[in-house]
């Protein structure tokens, strides 16, 4: 299991390879979605950090604190962390690449809209426990359903 910062650095690397940039909001949402994919597909968390239901969506507090000085601008540097990087050849990196492929073109606001929809883990937690931890069980259940529906609806 990695840290949210390690997952964010993996997304920053994919963005750089694609000559794109990412904002704090995009990183928060991409890392959150990758965590959901990992729970749904691998049956294990991508990272050990808690995710909270903040007013503006699912937030990983320590990642937010690390990146908040960028404001709404692009994150220009990799995140300093003692945690190991996500292995280039690993199941977790495959999950991150899949999320990048599926969601990497979306803006922070578009990603936020996806995570704010009715029935999402954020909306369910925000409704009953504002600012509380969004459980991995709730996230896993949601993304299993999302991935099943996506796969089931392919030609």
Rounded average pLDDT over 9-23 = 96
Residue 154 pLDDT exceeds 80: no
In Å, the largest CA–CA distance within the chain is: 44
User: pLDDT tens, 30-50?
Assistant: 999 999 999 999 999 999 999
Tokens matching residue 9: 């650095």
Residue 149 pLDDT exceeds 90: no
| pTM of the complete model | 0.93
As a whole number of Å, the end-to-end CA separation of the chain is: 34
Rounded average pLDDT over 43-70 = 94
Calpha distance 23→25 (Å, rounded): 5
- Which pLDDT score, from 0 to 100, does residue 151 have? 66
């Amino acid at each position: 299991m990695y840290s949210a910062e390690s997952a964010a650095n993996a997304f920053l690397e994919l963005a750089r390879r694609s000559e794109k940039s990412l904002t704090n909001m995009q990183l928060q949402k991409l890392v959150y979605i990758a965590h959901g994919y990992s729970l749904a597909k691998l049956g294990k968390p991508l990272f050990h950090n808690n995710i909270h239901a903040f007013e503006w969506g699912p937030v990983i507090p320590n990642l937010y604190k690390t990146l908040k000085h960028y404001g709404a601008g692009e994150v220009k540097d990799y995140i300093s962390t003692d945690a190991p990087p996500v292995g280039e050849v690993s199941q977790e990196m495959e999950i991150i690449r899949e999320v990048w492929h599926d969601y990497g073109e979306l803006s922070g606001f578009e990603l936020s809209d996806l995570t704010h929809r009715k029935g999402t883990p954020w909306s369910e937690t925000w409704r009953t426990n504002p600012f509380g931890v969004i459980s991995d069980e709730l996230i896993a259940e949601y993304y299993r359903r999302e991935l099943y529906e996506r796969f089931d609806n392919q030609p």
